[in-house]
Structure 1
Amino acid sequence: MTEAAIADHGLIGDLQTAALVSTDGSIDWFCCPRFDSPSVFGALLDDERGGHFRVRPERDCESKQMYFPDTAVLITRFITEAGVGEVVDFMTPSGREATGNHRLVRMLRCVRGEMSFEVDIAPRFEYGRRAHRTELTQHGAVFSTDALTLTLHAVREPDDARLAQVRVEEGDVRVSIDLKAGDVRGLVLESAADGPPREIRVAEFQQMFDDTVSFWRSWLARSTYTGRWREALQRSAITLKLMTYAPTGGMVAAPTMGLPEQVGGERNWDYRFTWVRDASFSIYALLRLGFTEESAQFSGWLRDRVAERVGGEGGPLNIMYRVDGSSDLKEEALEHWSGYRGSRPVRIGNGASDQLQLDIYGEALDSIFFADEHGLQVGHRGWIAIRELLDWLAEHWDQPEEGIWETRGGRQDFTYGRLMCWVALDRGIRMAASHGRPAAVDRWRGARDAIYDQIMTKGWNAQRKAFVQHYASDVLDSSLLRMSSVGFVAPHDPMWASTLRAMDDELVTDSLVYRYDPGASPDGLLGSEGTFSLCSFMYVDALARAGRLEDARLAFEKMLTYANHVGLFSEEIALTGEQIGNFPQAFTHLALIDAAITLDEALDRTASG
C-alpha cells in the first residue's frame, strides 16, 4: 500500500510523546515512551513494515476528521450506507515526571444506524527491528519485547459479546466490533501497564474522555489573546503544547522523522529533538498569547543549556538537544524502511547537531530578554552564564558557519548569523543596563557596533539593492525577513524596502516563500524543495511592519488555506499545494502566531488612526 498523505493526519499526545492518526482511522506514527524514542507504529514511513493501529468500518465509507472543540481530542467520522460511526482518539495527559506509562485511547461509537468496525493492531517495535511476542487474554492482549511492553485493554459492558471475534495472526491482533446507534465501546493501548489486561467499563472510559477535555479547555482558557484569527492561533497553541516534553519544557521541532522535503528525494531529517532556535521562538510566541507558565519553563530549559556548556569546545551552546537535555544525536539510516513514498534514506539522529550556527545565540538572548521584560527575570546564576556566553560571542562572532538552514556545503559568512550575533549582544547590553548587572558592556558594545558596520558594508549588495545570504554571494535569503522585526533596520528604511521588493520578485510565489535558491547557492544536497511555511509567515510579519497591510493580510489569509483539514502545517508546501516535510512543524506554528499578532496589532493601529 502507499503511505497516507502527510496532511491526512491529526495529532494527539500526552505531553511526553505523540501519535498521528490518519483520516481513515489508522495510527501511522507513535514513538514510546518519548518523542525521540524508537517507533512502535511507523506506517507513515513504510506502510508494509512500519506497523500500525487501524480502526475502520468493514463497509466502504466516506471519512471526515475534526478536533473536539478547544481540545487535542481527535474525532474521525465514518459515513456508510448503513450508518455513521466515530473513532474518538486521545492520550490521557502525563504529568511533569518522566514516565514510561502512556495510554492511547480509542473510543468507538455508532451515532446512527449500524456499523461494524475492523481493528488491526500491528506493532513493529524499535523501528521494526525488534521482534515481539503476543499473548491473548480474556480481557485483551499483551505485546512484549525485552525493552517495551504494550497492554491492550478492552472496553465493554458485562455479558458483552461484541469483542468475541478476536484472532492473532503472525503476532498481530485483529478484532471485529459490531455496534448499533448509541453504543460506545473501545480499546486502550497502554505502555508499562500496572498489571495484565483488564476489562474497562464504558463509564470509566467516558471519565477518561471528560478529564482529557477538561484538561485542554482549562489550559486554553489561560490565553489572553482576543484578536483576529483566534481559532487558528488557539489550534497552533494546542499543537505546540502537544509537542512539548513536560518534564523539561523542551519543544520538539516536530514529532516525526524522515518525512521528505521533496517526495523521492534525500532531504529527510529527524526532527524529534529540541532546537535552541525553536525553543527561543516558542518563548516569544507563547508569551504574546499569555501562556506565561510554558514560557517560564522554556526559559529555564534555555538557561540550563547556556549554563552547562559555558567555556565548552565549539561554543557555549549546541544547536539542538534531546528532550531530556542530552546531546547524543548520532545520525544513521534505517536501510530496511522504504521511506515515505520511496523517499530515502530514512534517517534517525541528526548529524547537523555538531554544526556551528551562530544565529542561535541571538534567538536565545532575544527570547530571554523578551521574557525578562515580561516579568520572567534572570537570576544571578543565569546572568553569570549569559555574561560568559556573550564574552565568548564577542570574541568568536566573526567566523564562517553553517547557518540557520544547516547547509552541508561548507561554512560561509552568513548575514543572518551575523545579524543574530548583533541581536545577542544588543539584548545583553540592554539587560545589563536595565538591572545594573556587572558585565563587559564596552567590549560587547564594540563587537555589536562592528557587526552592524560589517553587515551594512558586506551584507548589502549594491547591484541587487538588497541584503544577501552571505558575503561571497548575491543570493537572497528569506531568513533576513527578520531584520526589521529584531530592530536591526527600520521597517521603512529604503534599503529594507528594496530588499523586500527583491524578495517579492525572486523568492515569493503567490503567498508562499522559498528559503533561497539552492541552484544559485549550492547547499551540498541533491534535489529541490518546496516553499517554507515558516518563511511565508515571516514574510507576512515583515510586510505588516513595513506598512504594507493589504499585502500582509492577503498573504496571511492565503497561507491559512494551506493548512490541513484540522489546521495543522508541515514544514513545506510543494508546488502542487501538498504538505511535505516533517509534520506538524513547531516553527511554522510559532511563526503563524507571531505573524497573526503583529498583523492584528497593525490593523488595529490603522483602524484607530
Structure 2
Amino acid sequence: MTQTLDLFPIGNCAASALIDRSGRFVWACTPRVDGDPAFCALLSGDRADDQGFWSIDVEDMASVRQSYLRNTPILITEITDKSGAVVEITDFAPRYRQFGRVYRPMAFVRKVRPVSGTPRIRIRMRPMVNWGEARATITTGSNHLRYVGGEMTLRLTTEAPVSHIRDERLFRLEEPFSMFLGPDEGFDTDVAATTARMLSETTQYWRGWVRTLSVPLEWQDAVIRAAITLKLCAHEETGAIVAALTTSIPEHEGSQRNWDYRYCWLRDAYYVVQALNRLGAADLLENYLVYLRNVIDMAKGGHVQPLYGVGLEPSLVERFAEHLPGYRGMGPVRVGNQAHEHLQHDVYGQIVLSTVQAFFDQRLFRPATVEDFRALEPVGDRAFELHDQPDASLWEFRGRENVHTYSAVMCWAACDRLGNAAQQLGLMERADFWNGRAAQVRETTEKGAFNEKLGRFAATFGGDELDASLLQLVDVRFVSPDDPRMAATIKAVEEGLRRGPYMLRYAVPDDFGEPKTAFNICTFWLIEVLHMSGRSQEARDLFEEMLGRRTAAGLLSEDITLDGAELWGNYPQTYSLVGLINCANMLSRPWTSVR
C-alpha cells in the first residue's frame, strides 16, 4: 500500500491518531504526542503492511467511504464488500466534562457494526515499541488484551471474542461491538453502553465548542475543520501547542529535510492562538498563556528557546530512530529537534504578542495583571537587547547566521505591544519607556533592512536576499501595504519566490540544497497581502486553489509540490491551517450581506 498524507486525525487534546483511507490507525504516540509511536506504520516504509497499525479488514473489500461526524473529529468509515455487505467503523478519542473536570484519557474507541449483510472481518492489532524495534508482547484476559513493551502498557477492552483479535482470525460480523484502547486499568462497566455514552457526550462537547466560534460567512466547513484540528494539536494538560502531530515526513522526495515537529514552537503557537482568537476561541489562548508564564519563569530574564517539549522540557536532543525506515522508506526518522539549541530572536516578540491580548480581553477567566506585566518586561528587555544581533531566523538555518529582518521586526513588536499593555494598565511611565524603545528598534530596523539600491526591504540587514517572511511586516503592523517601500517588497517577493500559484519560503540553497517544494503558509501570506493591496479577486482565486489541495479530511501539510500534485512535510501542519483560517476571515463576504 503506497503511503500518502491523505489521513484523518482524531484526538482529544491528550491522545491523537492518524487513520488512513482504509480505516487503519497508522500513527499514534504514547503516552503523549511526542512519545514512542505505538502505531508507526506511517514511517515503516515497505514494512507498513506488517507492523505498527490497527486495522479492521473486510474480506473482499470493494469500496471505502470516510467522513467526519459534522463539527467533530469523530471519524466514520464505511466499508462495502463485493457482495454489498457494509461495515461501519466509528473512531474517536473521548472528551467531555465529568466529575467537574474534562475527561480526556490517553485512549481511543472503535465502534464496529454491520450496516447490511453479514460481512467477514479480521482485526489486526500490531503496536510496536521502542520506535519500531519490536512488536509489543500480548497477554490475554477474559475480556481484554494487554500490549506491553518498553514504557508502554496498553489495554484493549472489548465484548468481541478476544481470541479472534489475538489470533487475527477472520470472523462473521453479526452483532456490533466496541473496543476501548487505553491505560492498563480495569474497565468496570458495560463496554457497549459506556462507549455509546462516550460517543454521545464527545459529540456534544465538540459541537458545543464549534458553536462558540465566530466563523466567516464563506468557507465555513473548511474553517471549522481547520479550527478543530488546531485544537487537536494542543496538549491541554500543560497548555502546549505542537507544530504538527508527526515527525520526519520529508519536505520533498529524498530531501533529508525530515524534522520532528511534535513540540511546542513559541512562534507556531503564537500563530495558532492568533488565528483562533479571530474566531473567538479564547480557551486555547488562556491555556497556552499558562504554558507561556511557565516558560517566562524558567528563563529568569535570560535566553528563551524557540521550542520546548509539551511538558516544558528544555532539552530535545535530536537522534535517529534506527528501526524505522521512514515515510516511503525516506529516512532518517528523527526524534527530538536540534532547533532547541538555536538563537531565534523573533521568539521574544511572539511571547509578547501572544500575551498582550490578556491585558485587554475581559472574557478571560484570568485577565493579565500588573504583576504579569512586570514578569513580561524582561522578555521585552531581551528583545531590545537582541534586535540587531544575528540569529538562525524563523527558518532555522543550521549552517549560518545573519541579522534577520523578521526577527528584528518581531523584537520591535515586543516593545511596541508592551507599550500598549502598559497604557491599558495605566502605567504611563512604562508606556513611554517601551514606546521609546520601540521607536529605537524601528529606526534601526528600517535603516538596516531597507535596501536603498533596490528600493525594498531585504531579508537580512545590509543584504539583498528575499524570503517570504517579509510579507509579515504588514500583518504585525510594522508597515502598511500601501507604503511604497512595502509595495516594492511585495512585488519583489512575488517575482522572486512565487512558482505558479505557490510560494517558496526562500529560493537560495540552505544546508540541504535548494528547496524543491512550496511552503503552504507562505502562499497564504501572499494571499493576505494581495487582498490588502487591492488585488482581492486574485487573492480569492488563489485561496480557492489552496482549498482544492487539501486532503479528504480537509487539511494541509507543511509543503506542496510546485505542480500542486502532492503534499509533503509534517501533517497536519498548524501553520498551514492558520493560513487557511486567516485568509477565509479576511476574504469572506460579511454576514451583513445576507441579512
Q: Tell me the TM-score normalized by structure 2.
A: 0.92
* 2:506 matches 1:516: yes
Aligned partners of 2:224 and 2:103: how far apart in 1? 28
* 2:136 matches 1:132: yes
State the aligned residue count. 584
* 2:542 matches 1:555: yes
Select the residue among 343, 347, 361 that pairs with 1:356: 343
Give the 5 Å matches for 1:28-67.
28-47=26-45, 48=47, 51-67=52-68
Which residue of 1 is the match for residue 556 of structure 2? 569
Residue 179 of structure 1 and its aligned partner are, at CA, apart by 2.4
> Aligned letter for 1:292?
A
> Aligned letter for 1:178?
R
Select the residue among 275, 283, 291 that pairs with 2:281: 291
What's the secondary structure of 1:483's corresponding residue?
helix
> Aligned letter for 1:84?
V
Tell me if the contact between 2:76 and 2:90 (Cα under 8 Å) persists in the aligned partners. Answer: yes
Give the 5 Å matches for 1:10-29.
10-29=8-27
Aligned partners of 2:102 and 2:261: how far apart in 1? 20
Q: Structure 1 vs Structure 2: percent identity of aligned residues?
A: 31
Moved more, 23-32 or 145-154: 145-154
Q: 1:23 to 1:513 in 2, by over 3 A?
A: same
Aligned partners of 1:128 and 1:94: how far apart in 2? 33
> Aligned letter for 1:188?
F
Which residue of 1 is the match for residue 177 of structure 2? 185
* 2:146 matches 1:142: yes
Which residue of 2 is the match for residue 78 of structure 1? 79
Select the residue among 581, 586, 598 that pairs with 2:586: 598
Select the residue among 443, 460, 464 that pairs with 2:450: 460
Aligned partners of 1:539 and 1:227: how far apart in 2? 22
Tell me if the contact between 1:35 and 1:255 (Cα under 8 Å) persists in the aligned partners. Answer: yes
Residue 607 of structure 1 and its aligned partner are, at CA, apart by 7.3
Give the 5 Å matches for 1:110-509.
110-129=114-133, 132-145=136-149, 147-156=151-160, 163=161, 166=164, 168=166, 173-179=167-173, 183-194=175-186, 200-312=190-302, 315=303, 317-375=304-362, 376=364, 377-437=367-427, 444-509=434-499
Tell me if the contact between 1:125 and 1:132 (Cα under 8 Å) persists in the aligned partners. Answer: yes
The CA deviation string for residues 418-446 of structure 1, in whole angstroms up to 9 with x for no partner, is 11111111111121122223765555444
What's the secondary structure of 1:44's corresponding residue?
helix
Tell me if the contact between 1:19 and 1:28 (Cα under 8 Å) persists in the aligned partners. Answer: yes
Aligned partners of 1:331 and 1:274: how far apart in 2? 15
Tell me if the contact between 1:394 and 1:443 (Cα under 8 Å) persists in the aligned partners. Answer: no
Aligned partners of 2:542 and 2:505: how far apart in 1? 16
Aligned partners of 1:527 and 1:46: how far apart in 2? 27
Residue 165 of structure 1 and its aligned partner are, at CA, apart by 6.3
Residue 338 of structure 1 and its aligned partner are, at CA, apart by 0.9
> Aligned letter for 1:30?
A
Tell me if the contact between 2:403 and 2:460 (Cα under 8 Å) persists in the aligned partners. Answer: yes
Aligned partners of 2:591 and 2:453: how far apart in 1? 36
> Aligned letter for 2:112?
L
What's the secondary structure of 1:114's corresponding residue?
coil
Residue 230 of structure 1 and its aligned partner are, at CA, apart by 1.5
> Aligned letter for 1:458?
G
Tell me if the contact between 1:408 and 1:525 (Cα under 8 Å) persists in the aligned partners. Answer: no
Aligned partners of 2:146 and 2:284: how far apart in 1? 36
Residue 129 of structure 1 and its aligned partner are, at CA, apart by 3.2
What's the secondary structure of 2:396's corresponding residue?
coil
Q: 1:165 to 1:547 in 2, by over 3 A?
A: same
Residue 455 of structure 1 and its aligned partner are, at CA, apart by 3.0
Q: 1:344 to 1:94 in 2, by over 3 A?
A: farther
Aligned partners of 2:137 and 2:44: how far apart in 1? 21
The CA deviation string for residues 434-467 of structure 1, in whole angstroms up to 9 with x for no partner, is 2223765555444422332333333223444432
Residue 396 of structure 1 and its aligned partner are, at CA, apart by 2.4
Q: 1:506 to 1:583 in 2, by over 3 A?
A: same
What's the secondary structure of 1:75's corresponding residue?
strand
The CA deviation string for residues 322-377 of structure 1, in whole angstroms up to 9 with x for no partner, is 11222121110112221111222110001001111111122221232234333354
Name structure 1 gaps, 5 residues minimum: 157-162
Residue 491 of structure 1 and its aligned partner are, at CA, apart by 1.7
Moved more, 134-143 or 564-573: 134-143
Tell me if the contact between 1:97 and 1:247 (Cα under 8 Å) persists in the aligned partners. Answer: no
Name structure 2 gaps, 5 residues minimum: none
Residue 164 of structure 1 and its aligned partner are, at CA, apart by 7.5
Q: 1:516 to 1:438 in 2, by over 3 A?
A: same
The CA deviation string for residues 257-300 of structure 1, in whole angstroms up to 9 with x for no partner, is 11111122211111111111122222222221111222212223
Moved more, 69-78 or 379-388: 379-388
Indicate the RMSD between aligned Cα atoms, in angstroms. Answer: 2.5
> Aligned letter for 2:572?
P
Residue 605 of structure 1 and its aligned partner are, at CA, apart by 11
Tell me if the contact between 1:264 and 1:341 (Cα under 8 Å) persists in the aligned partners. Answer: no
> Aligned letter for 1:119?
I
Tell me if the contact between 1:302 and 1:364 (Cα under 8 Å) persists in the aligned partners. Answer: yes
Q: Tell me the TM-score normalized by structure 1.
A: 0.90
Aligned partners of 2:423 and 2:462: how far apart in 1? 36
Which residue of 1 is the match for residue 567 of structure 2? 579
Tell me if the contact between 2:129 and 2:150 (Cα under 8 Å) persists in the aligned partners. Answer: no
Q: 1:66 to 1:226 in 2, by over 3 A?
A: same
Q: 1:321 to 1:532 in 2, by over 3 A?
A: same
Tell me if the contact between 1:153 and 1:199 (Cα under 8 Å) persists in the aligned partners. Answer: no
Aligned partners of 1:415 and 1:460: how far apart in 2? 9
Q: 1:582 to 1:138 in 2, by over 3 A?
A: same
Tell me if the contact between 1:153 and 1:188 (Cα under 8 Å) persists in the aligned partners. Answer: yes
Select the residue among 573, 579, 589 that pairs with 2:577: 589
What's the secondary structure of 1:121's corresponding residue?
strand
Tell me if the contact between 2:457 and 2:470 (Cα under 8 Å) persists in the aligned partners. Answer: yes
Tell me if the contact between 1:101 and 1:193 (Cα under 8 Å) persists in the aligned partners. Answer: no
> Aligned letter for 2:464?
D
Aligned partners of 2:439 and 2:495: how far apart in 1? 31
Tell me if the contact between 1:571 and 1:588 (Cα under 8 Å) persists in the aligned partners. Answer: yes
Q: 1:345 to 1:216 in 2, by over 3 A?
A: same
Q: 1:606 to 1:465 in 2, by over 3 A?
A: farther
The CA deviation string for residues 529-569 of structure 1, in whole angstroms up to 9 with x for no partner, is 41111111122222222222111111111111111011111
Aligned partners of 1:508 and 1:68: how far apart in 2? 37
Tell me if the contact between 1:140 and 1:151 (Cα under 8 Å) persists in the aligned partners. Answer: yes
Tell me if the contact between 2:61 and 2:79 (Cα under 8 Å) persists in the aligned partners. Answer: no
Q: 1:605 to 1:11 in 2, by over 3 A?
A: closer
